[in-house]
Structure 1
Amino acid sequence: MTPAVERLRELLRIPTVSHVDESQVAWGSFAAFHAALERLYPAMHTRLEREGVDGYSLLYRWPGAASGDPLVLMAHMDVVPVVEDEWRHPPFAAEIIGEGTDAAIHARGAIDDKGSLVAILEAVEELVTEGFVPARDVYLAFGHDEETAGGGARAIAALLRDRGVRPALIVDEGGAVVDGVIPGVGVSTAMVGVAERGVMTLLLTAREGGGHASTPPATPATARLARAVNRLHRHPFPTRLAPPVRAMLTTVAPHAAQPLRTLLRTLSITGHLVAAVISRLGPEMNAVVRTTAVVTQLSGAPGENVLATTARAAVNIRLLTGDTVAGVVERARRVIADPAVELDVRHASEPSPVSPWKGEAWQRLAAAVATSLGGHIVTTPYLQLGASDSRWFTALSDHVYRFTPFHLTRSERDALHAHDERIRVEVWLRGIGFYRALIASS
């Protein structure tokens, strides 16, 4: 394998696992990761300015011929925990399985998000070694806790704001190059997130006096909570086409088979029908056209024969562009229709602003896709379904995009945050070219 692949494998072997409870974090792994970056990419560390932020996040500045309108490339060092018994191959061994075009590196973080981080480093190291000087400053912003609080990226964004840095283009992890996401569209699409959904936790709580389970009341707290949960499940948020989704469908319309092509070209008339159909095409597409709500945690009594004095459910809600935290809470209150069930908002953030899919910044990104990943790929706006560190940067620039430059299969995307995460070697190497092209246009 090439030296670049071996460097990626070495960095994937460092278990930079983040935890909500930071007392469980092995901070030595992050220190080892920092040291490995400096050793593996010597030219870059000679040319670029590097500073630590918020403990273990890193900010690099590559001075260009001019400092205005810089490019910011983002990624994160941390990965989610693993259940090793579920993996076919050790999650931190970075083994290469398969041959030829099927050869893939199996490791936690291969895609999310060390794959992008190391591809950025490879592109920068190559260009620095070649003597390239960017026309404008280039920043590399690497967070250390994206999978939990995102405090590192937030601190970097605050630092850049205080220094008066106004990026012309920001690119973070996000959509990938995919096939067949929209049935009937027979072209590969580079799904570039121009916005991301808001995220919040809504806590539902039902209370009662408690007592022995042998003499339950007519409607115990657990039954009241279950009824509330069931009502939320039976009354999902309505479907609709948010502007980024409408733009995505319009972009792919010329590549769709009939009669889908006509439906997508007349969304002003067919939009409601198209949104309803899309919601039935699987969980990923359903999440594109509606605010989603799902119960992720339940708690009740401490013992099997004890009535719960407090029954609680945590509802994870992802807000579609155009919805608001306040509006979501009000709708949940109406649907549950039980004043005895308390609703409390935790960890709420509104949907991000929408970046334009026209103009110089967008064209630079689309050109980098065409140059490095293939002219047959259609670059399209996309609504990012998950949250990313880029949400902290939207106050710095109107041009924040979320794109991971790898051509991923359905099963590869499904492995994110699950077992057997992996990336094909050939696919990863092409991703380096995307970052080279993007930096060269800066």
Structure 2
Amino acid sequence: MTATQTPDLAGASRTTGRVVLITATETEPRSFGKQVVLGGMLDHLCARLGPDQVHVVLIGRAGIDRPPVPYRRHVIAKPSAADQLAAVAGRVLGPAHSSLQEAALWSDATLAALAETLAEVRADLQIWDTMRTGQYARRLGRKPRVLYADDLFSKRYASMLERLDQDAAGGRGAKVADPLGEFGKLLPGAAAKVVGRRSVFRRLLQLERTLTARSEERAPAEFDATYLVNAQEAAELRERTGDPTVGTLLPLLPEPAVRERRWAGGPVFVFLGGLDFAPNRDGLTWFLGTFREQVLAAVPDFRLLVVGRGSANLPAEAAAWGARVRALGWVDDLDEVLGSCAALLSPLRVGSGTKIKVLEALARGLPVVATRAGVLGLPVGEPDGALVAADPADLPGLLARAADPAVNRGLAAAARGSWERTFSPAVVGPAYDTAFGLRPAPASARR
């Protein structure tokens, strides 16, 4: 099986009629990449099976208002602070040797509630969202189930450790913050503060990288199929485990409502991504602190719009750029913002998985200027509308190229073509049908 093939879960004799997604991520509103990915999956399942046949079991905060959804949502209270601390102490150091992110979501009460809820739902297929929730599957009996692993978190931690070492060697100190990412929000406040200390988190990253790698290697044997968003990471996990049921599912994003760009020709670029996510903040901080003179020499009228959660809290390095860097915060209409810019800037240095922001740009025919990490998991280059820096020092020159109207027109056409060939719902949707045992849509419905 090649790196991009999808294991056929359903086979020739079985078709899914009811499905349940078990997750610890709020699925609405779709304000960051993971929510967008899960939202695309749920939209597809609802379209194929009907909303009444799609269930979501959410391990989250109880007793809060949530946006209405078409599918059936069941909320299970996340573990208490006492449960979390006990699980971290007992399961990380004890015989389970689970990762910290798994332990932070474990409790016997949650296990009992999951067992009861899943027995009531009686789904033909269970989709477990990452090993944070998937750790419960092995305790609930063997059912038709798949693991949506997202990405290899061990590689994310490894890349962050590498970046810490490189920054320290360069005399700039350890600048990567929030090292454990989204799952750190599950921790009790006191534990989260300890994790946030730079004297602590490097060793913690080393431990988590090791424990998460073990969990990743154990997972495929416990599920009928395991899916990652990055084909290279899927190939790596297949090699590490020898398990042929590891496959790839690209994010399933909708076609944008507006395809025509309204770019006026000025050198206005956009950075898209929440600054409460460590790789995003690190990349923007590095770019702003490193390339000001070079960028303004290459593109004198350069401007950058910063869009996403937490962007009101710009890195201190933005001050030197003055009004050239402007935070827009969360915006409801991405079409309007992305359609008015010359290109997306994705100057990331660390991470794993696949960059949703790049797909958002390609879908709208918006060129991309990026580091290699900024297009991680996506086989794109200039023929796809993406100018990818072979060396970080190339970024200012690539921004100047993208700002040239004639070059930009060619890149925009290439970006839209890449979306239609590789990443559009018409291309990606059938892989979800195969992965989840769904009846394929008629050809007319996919056009």
TM-score where L is the length of structure 2: 0.27
Bigger relative CO (Cα 8 Å, ≥ 6 apart): 1
Greater strand share, 1 or 2? Answer: 1
TM-score, normalising length: structure 1: 0.27
More helix by share: 2
Greater CA radius of gyration, 1 or 2? 1
